[in-house]
């Protein structure tokens, strides 16, 4: 068994869906597994020139690869089937490849109603937090208890370990949200309710020694959707929002924007063990023509894209990370 992990190094919305889609297209994976989150996620994918936003469903369905919603996820059944229908309307054979871990938990109407009362954290109000709370309080509802999901439900241990093809299994873990929102490592309490790190992927039934590559994904600037004050001061951030289409893929809310926090990215690289780094949205600052990075309390300004790329490479050289800078919506 071999596993690669795609993990967001910031606050979500960094292009994990694009990177996972690219790796799935180029790789030989037998399984794509979503390892955390639920319909609060929104992964934007351009497949054969068409834009898709997936909330629950792993990107493997686009390529005929077994696609599993793992036990670290929570599932809104109505939203899931809506997503299935939307993809099937575009000729994607979702039902043939989609599977759901029997021990994934269900988001109920009660969870959604409760989440809508939030006015302090700035949640997506999709019921994820209350669903995870009930999971850990040992009073949740699991996928195996949901009759509508019966055709999709699998036992993860049997799927991955009681399998005569064990030695040939190659997994791509597709994470949701980001390191800055992780329930343990994020800016608490302005966090999500799940584990967004590589550790969250391992909890879905794969031994740590199986991990081969950890793909860290970031943007050349940062965005955040939530209640805390994050937005930078100056008209340039409004310009970045419009040029970069920085609106939440799930909620449609305008994202708060600031310059890249290099300290946060380095911390996320270290804790996740990142050895492949993709920095997206280079094309946006190409158009805006401002290049700035926070390193601690210091704000560094650069003359060009080449200068900032060189500085990032030199600053991360000792971490032995392969770095890719991308300005393409569909590929890295």
CATH number, domain with residue 227: 3.40.440.10
Question: Poorest-confidence range of 117-131, 161-175, 273-287?
Answer: 117-131
2-21 residue pLDDT tens = 999 999 999 999 999 999 99
Burial level of 236, CB count in 10 A (0-12/13-18/19+)? middle
Listed in sequence order, the residues at least 6 apart from 93 whose beta carbon sits closer than 8 Å to its beta carbon are: 61, 64
Better-scored residue on pLDDT, 276 or 115: 276
Q: Which residue has the tokens 């292009």?
A: 15
* Among the listed residues 25, 12, 115, the one whose alpha carbon sits nearest the alpha carbon of residue 62: 25
Q: What is the pLDDT of residue 250?
A: 73
Is residue 13 annotated as a catalytic residue, yes or no? yes
Q: What is the pLDDT of residue 305?
A: 96
Pairing of strands 211-219, 2-8: parallel
Residue 332 lies in a domain: no
- Number of structural domains (the chain) is 1
**Domain range for residue 163?**
2-325
Bridge partners of 280, per DSSP, are: 219
* Among the listed residues 58, 29, 24, the one whose alpha carbon sits nearest the alpha carbon of residue 168: 29
State the Cα angle at 61 between 58 and 66, rounded to 5°.
80
Residue 330 lies in a domain: no
Residue 289 lies in a domain: yes
Residue 331 lies in a domain: no
38-84 residue pLDDT tens = 988 888 889 998 999 999 999 999 999 999 999 999 999 999 999 99
Residue 183 lies in a domain: yes
Residue 208 lies in a domain: yes
Q: What is the pLDDT of residue 18?
A: 94
Q: Does the pLDDT of residue 167 top 90, yes or no?
A: no
Distance CA 205, CA 160 (A): 8
Residue 52 lies in a domain: yes
Is residue 43 annotated as a catalytic residue, yes or no? yes
Residue 82 lies in a domain: yes
CA distances to 31, 159, 170, 196, 237 from 206, in Å: 12, 11, 11, 16, 41
Q: Among residues 21, 22, 31, 43, which one is catalytic?
A: 43
Q: Among residues 4, 13, 115, 134, which one is catalytic?
A: 13
96-114 residue pLDDT tens = 999 999 999 999 999 999 9
Average pLDDT over residues 241-263: 90
């Amino acid at each position: 068994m071999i596993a690669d992990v795609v993990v967001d190094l910031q606050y979500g919305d960094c292009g994990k869906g694009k990177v996972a889609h690219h790796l799935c297209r180029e790789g030989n994976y037998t399984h794509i597994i979503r390892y955390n989150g639920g319909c609060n996620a929104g992964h934007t994918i351009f497949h054969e020139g068409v834009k898709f936003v997936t909330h629950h469903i792993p990107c493997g369905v686009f390529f005929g690869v077994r696609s599993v919603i793992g036990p670290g996820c929570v599932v809104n059944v109505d939203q899931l089937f809506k997503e299935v229908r939307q993809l099937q309307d575009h000729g994607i054979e979702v039902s043939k490849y989609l599977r759901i871990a029997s021990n994934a938990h269900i988001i109920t109407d009660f969870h959604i109603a409760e989440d809508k009362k939030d006015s302090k954290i700035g949640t997506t109000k999709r019921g994820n937090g209350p669903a995870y709370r009930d999971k850990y309080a040992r009073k949740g509802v699991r996928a195996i208890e949901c009759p509508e999901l019966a055709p999709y439900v699998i036992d993860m241990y049997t799927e991955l370990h009681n399998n005569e093809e064990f030695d040939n299994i190659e997994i791509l873990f597709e994470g949701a949200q980001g390191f800055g929102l992780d329930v343990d490592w994020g800016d608490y309490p302005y966090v999500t309710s799940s584990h967004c790190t590589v550790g969250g992927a391992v909890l879905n039934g794969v031994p740590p020694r199986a991990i081969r590559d950890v793909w860290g994904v970031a943007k050349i600037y940062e965005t955040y959707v939530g209640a805390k004050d994050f937005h930078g001061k100056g008209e340039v951030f409004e310009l970045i929002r419009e040029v970069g289409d920085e609106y939440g893929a799930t909620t449609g809310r305008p994202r708060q924007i600031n310059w890249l926090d290099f300290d946060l990215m380095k911390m996320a690289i270290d804790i996740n063990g990142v050895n492949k780094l993709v920095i997206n949205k280079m094309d946006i600052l190409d158009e805006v023509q401002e290049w700035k990075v926070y390193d601690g309390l210091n704000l560094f300004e650069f003359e060009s894209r080449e200068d900032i790329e060189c500085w990032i490479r030199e600053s991360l050289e000792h971490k032995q990370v392969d770095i890719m800078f991308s300005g393409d919506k569909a590929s890295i």
